């Protein structure tokens, strides 16, 4: 049995467990409300982390296509760290703040008929981007972890196959995170 296979087998269960536990913990934490803490400064920071993740991912692909594997590995590792920091900040913000309603110009937590008319069809675009961002973020977590594991264990052929699926989804999640923030930010 090759070392590559052994490393993958050793960490496969951990990747599966993390892929299940992380979304469950995040969902549970969304039901926790912490009073007296103000993390209202976090949304632009975690949106920036999403943008940085997108840049790092593109840079990582360019670096590997140019044959610079060490740089590729570093960039992907930093992109993963940015994604983890994003998630921690996102959860911290939502545990300490009321949800912001898209189109709620007066900040009362509801969209009036006038506000709905003012935002028009952009609500559909926002909702689509938000829902696809959330759903694909659940899908991308195990994809990123398995792709990283395959690269880390030097299973290059399998890593490439996984990366062809993982990269566009991870990039979409990172970019839509920025767009969703830009769309919702006037209503904070």
pLDDT at residue 1 tops 60: no
pTM tops 0.85:
yes
> What confidence tens digit (pLDDT) does each residue in 22-39 have?
999 998 988 888 999 999
Domain region containing 122: 3-187
The rounded distance, in Å, linking the Cα atoms of 9 and 7 is 5
The rounded distance, in Å, linking the Cα atoms of 21 and 44 is 27
Domain count, the chain: 1
């Amino acid at each position: 049995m090759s070392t590559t296979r052994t490393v993958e087998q050793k960490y496969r269960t951990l990747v599966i467990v993390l892929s299940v536990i992380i979304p469950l913990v995040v969902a549970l934490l969304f039901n926790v409300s912490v009073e007296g803490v103000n993390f209202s400064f976090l949304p632009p920071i975690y949106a920036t982390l999403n943008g940085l993740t997108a840049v790092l991912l593109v840079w990582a692909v360019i670096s590997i296509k140019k044959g610079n594997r060490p740089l590729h590995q570093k960039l992907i590792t930093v992109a993963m760290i940015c994604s983890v920091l994003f998630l921690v900040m996102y959860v911290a913000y939502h545990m300490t703040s009321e949800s912001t309603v898209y189109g709620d110009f007066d900040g009362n937590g509801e969209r009036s008929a006038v506000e709905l008319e003012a935002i028009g069809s952009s609500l559909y675009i926002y909702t689509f981007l938000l829902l696809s961002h959330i759903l694909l973020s659940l899908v991308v977590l195990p994809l990123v972890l398995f792709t990283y594991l395959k690269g880390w264990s030097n299973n290059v052929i399998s890593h490439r196959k996984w990366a062809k699926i993982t990269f566009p989804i991870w990039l979409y999640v990172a970019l839509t995170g920025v767009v969703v923030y830009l769309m919702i930010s006037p209503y904070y």
